[in-house]
């Protein structure tokens, strides 16, 4: 066997949360944005955070001397960091690029692969400067290797987005000629990365990690010509491995399978001179026969799930790792997480598990957050090096935890399983649309171009304060409910005054559109401090779906009934759909996700039935995350679309013909899911559309969609109040593209992040615009 020089570390992780155990990053950057700290003070805090992070990773068992510890920090976003590295964005305009300022709008933000992390989309044209412009990775390496505080040196492995992925995620800058693609600038980018590698080598870095997740994502590469991606990868890594004095290169391909695209990119990378390849073996399968070129490389086996919170079956993973060398022909095999740990909270031990705050103590033993996953990697690496016996106690403890979880009460609830198994097509099928439309028209008696909103009204500081003091126990349940009822009454009165046609209760009682339901459903747990970064300084606490899901009691009915008691106009019942509930939670890994979705759908179906029984004539089931879970590989998409559409239809399929079912989608480009939107069979679909000037309306029509459609005319992501004229123009555009009888007038999304002043003015303009267009019909 040829020797591997230098050996890659025995065990590693592809990246670690950047936000800080106590959300120190959030606090530091927000204080700086508010003008409370200088740039130098911010810098000092971030340096301390970086050092604390690498030292913690060493304390958890990663080797301090060989590049095991990733240097994966970012002050805001790692894609923005790469843009600054290449001089595409100026280093001194870092936060302005992220958030906008008086001189420029922020970069657009979009989902990072199929995760709930959002990155900033770089804008690149033919003349955009691309040069090695920022040495942050070198400085961060040096500050840990030669710490100014005299602490123990840590030789880290700088982690940078790879050039192919960076360009594939970028968008063509405004004014770029037709047909220009950022990938056309590959040679410039590779030259700049080459300079970075030379600088890292000179600073003494033994390894660098270049992340290339675009290589597993047809959703990103679909527009390329056959063979073009493989050629770009070959060209990039042939050039970079030729850089004199460079560190050894690890190319990481998290989130999916390198081998199942149009080209087998594992084979392409194995044929280059990079020293190590990290593959995601949670999502992808290893090669089943030796791969040419791999014999001189280290295969870094991503066997610990970086994207979920469950403790791993270490004995099984160790067997898998031990078999990989022979199976793939790799010269050496080491273990890692499948992805960066960016997507999971820091430490299970940061929660209280004694049952005092309602969290099931059994869960503590079943979970692995970031720190537990580091320990899992360390155990696997030791087992691989010294044999299973050397880590026998750890393997046994993991097996025992899994066995405990498998047999614990609530994990399998026979009645829930039986009910899901008994579902058939009839449960997912409502009366024909024509019949429903006639019954709903008779019941609701709405004018053409009915006006409505998407659900939430501004979450004022008073609402947030009331919720916080209720959560702390300083406000009684009764006082909190009174405060929320007063808010609902205010929102109803305001909508009546504005002249909206279909009202909402405003969702003041909801902390979050998923957590609110997770707190009330059996089978879910919520954490107090399980924060993960959503984007920049924004963090979320995804609920944990651990058991069979059912609904012990109605969740929303009292609020909707109360709101309806205040008005003679229809008030929408508001639910979050099954796909979105799953997308924004950590979902159990011991049951096919389609089955989990059926359980959630049945719980929602019961809620719809109770709303209907309470007299609700319109029910909205939001699915903003429908596009988010779309699999990265084209071949996997039909199965996903089948179960996601079906679960929505199960949730809504029991509604009587005269109950109008709405859905709402946002956050995306709907092109890939247009047939699925039609498949939901909702009576009315509201979508984000203002920024794309209604282009979704003709697209949906061409796809055969012929039910109610509410293309959002007001972009609620901006504080700007749209004029009546602008709204009239957009509504006219929509009403001209399809049968105007199908068109609704509504904003893009919920109003919870907006203030009352702009909301009131904008809705006034919306109602006026709808009336103006109505008069022309």
Q: Is 622 annotated as a binding residue?
A: yes
Give the nearest distance from C-beta 617 to ligand MET in angstroms. Answer: 17
Q: Round to whole Å and give the CA distance between 162 and 274.
A: 13
Q: Is 355 annotated as a binding residue?
A: no
451 Cα distance to chain centroid: 31
Is residue 628 within the footprint of ligand MET (CB under 6 A)? no
Identify which of 158, 171, 142 has the alpha carbon closest to the alpha carbon of residue 68. 158
Residues 6+ apart with CB under 8 A from 536: 29, 76, 77, 98, 99
DSSP single-letter state for residue 527: -
Q: Is 646 annotated as a binding residue?
A: no
Q: Residue 695, Cβ neighbours under 10 Å: how many?
A: 15
Give the nearest distance from C-beta 400 to ligand MET in angstroms. Answer: 40
Pick the closer one to ligand MET by CB: 166 or 584.
584
Give the nearest distance from C-beta 752 to Zn ion in angstroms. Answer: 10
Pick the closer one to Zn ion by CB: 245 or 755.
755
Q: Is 297 annotated as a binding residue?
A: no
734 Cα distance to chain centroid: 30
Q: Round to whole Å and give the CA distance between 639 and 652.
A: 20
Give the nearest distance from C-beta 454 to Zn ion in angstroms. Answer: 6
Is residue 547 within the footprint of ligand MET (CB under 6 A)? no
User: Binding partner of residue 574 among ligand MET, Zn ion, none, CB under 5 to 8 Å per kind?
Assistant: ligand MET
Give the nearest distance from C-beta 608 to Zn ion in angstroms. Answer: 20
Pick the closer one to Zn ion by CB: 133 or 749.
749
Q: Which position among 509, 622, 681, 748 is part of the footprint of ligand MET (CB under 6 A)?
A: 622
Strands 276-280 and 298-304 turn out to be parallel
Q: Round to whole Å and give the CA distance between 465 and 559.
A: 20
Q: Is 538 annotated as a binding residue?
A: yes
Tell me, yes or no, if 662 is annotated catalytic: no
Is residue 506 within the footprint of ligand MET (CB under 6 A)? no
Q: Round to whole Å and give the CA distance between 683 and 680.
A: 9
Give the nearest distance from C-beta 517 to Zn ion in angstroms. Answer: 16
Backbone CA torsion sign across 4, 5, 9, 15: negative
Q: Is 350 annotated as a binding residue?
A: no
Is residue 666 within the footprint of ligand MET (CB under 6 A)? yes
Q: Residue 348, Cβ neighbours under 10 Å: how many?
A: 22
Q: Is 454 annotated as a binding residue?
A: yes
Q: Round to whole Å and give the CA distance between 297 and 231.
A: 20
Is residue 624 within the footprint of ligand MET (CB under 6 A)? yes
Site string for ligand MET, 678-717 (x = CB under 6 A): ----------------------------------------
Q: Round to whole Å and give the CA distance between 657 and 431.
A: 6
Strands 708-711 and 618-622 turn out to be unpaired
Residues 6+ apart with CB under 8 A from 16: 53, 57, 70, 72, 340, 341, 342, 370, 374
Is residue 563 within the footprint of ligand MET (CB under 6 A)? no
Identify which of 295, 525, 313, 377 has the alpha carbon closest to the alpha carbon of residue 13. 377
Q: Round to whole Å and give the CA distance between 417 and 50.
A: 46
User: Binding partner of residue 456 among ligand MET, Zn ion, none, CB under 5 to 8 Å per kind?
Assistant: ligand MET
Is residue 446 within the footprint of ligand MET (CB under 6 A)? no
Is residue 664 within the footprint of ligand MET (CB under 6 A)? yes
Of 195-203, 255-263, 676-684, 745-753, the segment contacting ligand MET by CB under 6 A is 745-753
What is 672-727 written as a DSSP string? GGHHHHHHT--SEEEE--TTTTTTHHHHHHHTT--SEEEE--B-TTS-PPPPHHHH
Q: Is 584 annotated as a binding residue?
A: yes
Pick the closer one to ligand MET by CB: 193 or 516.
516
Q: Which residue's beta carbon is nearest to the bound ligand MET? A: 750
Is residue 513 within the footprint of ligand MET (CB under 6 A)? yes
Give the nearest distance from C-beta 584 to ligand MET in angstroms. Answer: 10
Is residue 574 within the footprint of ligand MET (CB under 6 A)? yes
Catalytic residue among 346, 662, 717, 765: 717
Residues within the interface to ligand MET (CB under 6 A): 454-456, 507, 513, 574, 622, 624, 664, 666, 749-750, 752
In the annotated binding site for L-methionine, the residues are 454-456, 507, 622
In the annotated binding site for 5-methyltetrahydropteroyltri-L-glutamate, the residues are 26, 116, 538-539, 584
Residues marked as catalytic: 717
């Amino acid at each position: 066997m040829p020797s591997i020089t230098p050996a890659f570390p025995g065990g590693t992780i592809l990246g670690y949360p950047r936000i800080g155990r106590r959300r120190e990053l959030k606090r530091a950057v927000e204080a700086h944005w508010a003008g409370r700290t200088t740039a130098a003070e911010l810098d000092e805090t971030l340096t301390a955070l970086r050092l604390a992070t690498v030292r913690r990773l060493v304390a958890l068992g990663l080797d301090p001397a060989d590049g095991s510890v990733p240097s994966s920090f970012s002050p805001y976003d790692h894609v923005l960091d790469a843009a600054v590295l290449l001089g595409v964005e100026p280093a001194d305009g870092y936060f302005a690029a992220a958030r906008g300022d008086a001189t420029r709008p922020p970069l657009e933000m979009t989902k990072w692969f199929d995760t709930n992390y959002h990155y900033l989309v770089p804008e690149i044209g033919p003349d955009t400067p691309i040069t090695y412009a920022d040495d942050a990775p070198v400085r961060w390496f040096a500050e840990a290797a030669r710490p100014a505080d005299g602490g123990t040196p840590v030789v880290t492995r700088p982690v940078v987005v790879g050039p192919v992925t960076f360009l594939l995620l970028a968008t063509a800058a405004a004014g770029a000629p037709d047909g220009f693609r950022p990938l056309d600038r590959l040679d410039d980018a590779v030259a700049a990365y080459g300079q970075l590698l030379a600088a890292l080598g000179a600073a003494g870095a033994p390894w660098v990690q270049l992340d290339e997740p675009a290589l597993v994502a047809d959703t990103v590469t679909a527009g390329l010509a056959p063979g073009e991606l493989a050629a770009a990868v070959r060209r990039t890594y042939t050039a970079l491995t030729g850089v004199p004095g460079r560190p050894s290169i690890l190319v990481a391909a998290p989130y999916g399978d390198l081998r199942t695209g149009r080209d087998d990119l594992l084979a392409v990378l194995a044929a280059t001179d990079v020293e190590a390849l990290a593959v995601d073996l949670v999502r992808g399968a290893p090669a089943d026969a030796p791969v040419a070129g791999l014999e001189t490389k280290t295969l870094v086996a991503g066997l610990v799930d970086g994207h979920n919170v469950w403790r791993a079956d270490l004995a099984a993973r160790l067997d898998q790792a031990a078999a990989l060398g022979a199976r793939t022909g790799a010269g050496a095999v080491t273990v890692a997480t499948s992805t960066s740990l960016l997507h999971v909270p820091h430490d299970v031990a940061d929660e209280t598990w004694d049952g005092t705050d309602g969290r099931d103590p059994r869960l503590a033993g079943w979970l692995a957050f970031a720190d537990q996953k580091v320990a899992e990697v360390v155990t696997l690496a030791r087992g691989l090096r010294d044999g299973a016996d050397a880590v026998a106690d750890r393997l046994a403890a993991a097996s025992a935890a899994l066995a405990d979880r498998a047999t614990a009460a609530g994990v399998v609830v026979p009645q829930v399983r039986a009910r899901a198994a008994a579902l058939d097509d009839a449960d997912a099928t409502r009366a024909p649309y024509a019949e429903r439309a006639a019954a709903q028209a008779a019941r609701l008696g709405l004018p053409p171009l009915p006006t409505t909103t998407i659900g939430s009204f501004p979450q004022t500081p008073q609402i947030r304060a009331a919720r916080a003091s209720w959560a702390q126990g300083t406000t009684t349940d009764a006082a909190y409910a009174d405060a929320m009822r007063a808010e609902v009454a205010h929102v109803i009165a305001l909508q009546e005054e504005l002249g909206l046609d279909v009202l909402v209760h405003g969702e003041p009682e909801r902390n979050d559109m998923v957590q609110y339901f997770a707190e009330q459903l059996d089978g879910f747990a919520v954490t107090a401090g399980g924060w993960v970064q959503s984007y920049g300084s924004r963090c979320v606490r995804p609920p944990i779906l651990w058991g069979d899901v059912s609904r012990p009691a109605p969740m929303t009915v009292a609020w909707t009934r109360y709101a309806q008691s205040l008005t003679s106009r229809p008030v929408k019942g508001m639910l979050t759909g099954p796909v979105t509930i799953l997308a924004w939670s950590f979902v159990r890994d011991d049951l096919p996700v389609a089955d989990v979705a059926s359980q959630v759908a049945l719980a929602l179906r019961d809620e719809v039935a109770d709303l209907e029984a309470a007299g609700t004539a319109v029910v909205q089931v939001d699915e903003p995350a429908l596009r988010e879970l779309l699999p990265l590989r084209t071949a996997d998409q039909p199965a996903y679309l089948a179960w996601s559409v079906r679960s929505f239809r199960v949730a809504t399929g029991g509604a009587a013909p005269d109950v109008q079912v709405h859905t709402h989608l946002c956050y995306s480009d709907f092109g890939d899911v247009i047939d699925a939107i039609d498949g939901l069979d909702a009576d009315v679909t509201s979508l984000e559309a203002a920024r794309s000037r209604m282009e979704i309306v003709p697209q949906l029509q061409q796809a055969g969609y012929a039910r109610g459609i509410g293309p959002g005319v007001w972009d609620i992501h901006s504080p700007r109040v749209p004029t009546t004229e602008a709204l009239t123009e957009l509504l006219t555009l929509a009403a001209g593209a399809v049968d105007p009888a199908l068109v609704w007038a509504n904003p893009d999304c919920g109003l919870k992040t907006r203030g009352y002043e702009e909301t009131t003015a904008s809705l006034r303009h919306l109602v006026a615009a709808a009336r103006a267009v109505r008069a022309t019909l």
